[in-house]
Amino acid sequence: MPFKDPSGSFVHAAHYAELLLRVGEHLFPGEKFFSLSQDQRRIVDNETSNLLVYSRWKVDSLGFAEHFAQKLIGGEEAPAGIVLGNPLEAPSPEAAIKPPGQFL
């Protein structure tokens, strides 16, 4: 019976098993997966899970950036000399006399 939504399907299980075996070969070269100790298998499983989580974060972060990093409609870049919407002005002579933090 085919799945309408392939998540959790046999195909995903087969890909995960293949990845698990490759990680096991990489971490413990020359040893068969079923000859590994329980602790070694736990290490392989943890590293496989970490690899999948990090790859998911990478893909999700790229998708997030592509979706939300869009230009605003009709938005233009601010002209030079504008900071937070206020034009930069030369300090007034009065401001030059007063020490910083003095508002009187």
Model pLDDT for residues 34-44, shown as the tens digit of each residue: 999 999 999 99
Tens-digit pLDDT profile for residues 70-99: 655 555 666 666 666 555 555 556 655 666
| 86, part of any domain | no
- Total structural domains within the chain: 1
In a domain, 42, yes or no: yes
Instruction: With respect to residue 52, please indicate whether it lies within any of the assigned structural domains.
Output: yes
d(CA 47, CA 23): 7
Whether pTM exceeds 0.85: no
Integer CA distances (angstroms), 27 to 17, 33, 52, in order: 15, 11, 16
In a 10 Å sphere around its CB, with 0-12 CB exposed, 13-18 middle and 19+ buried, how is residue 44 labelled?
A: buried
12 or 81: which leads in pLDDT: 12
Please check whether residue 62 lies inside any domain of the structure.
yes
Query: Is 27 part of any domain?
Result: no
Q: Rounded to whole angstroms, how far apart are CA atoms 30 and 28?
A: 6
Domain-located, residue 78:
no
Q: Which domain holds residue 60?
A: 32-68
DSSP letter at 103? -
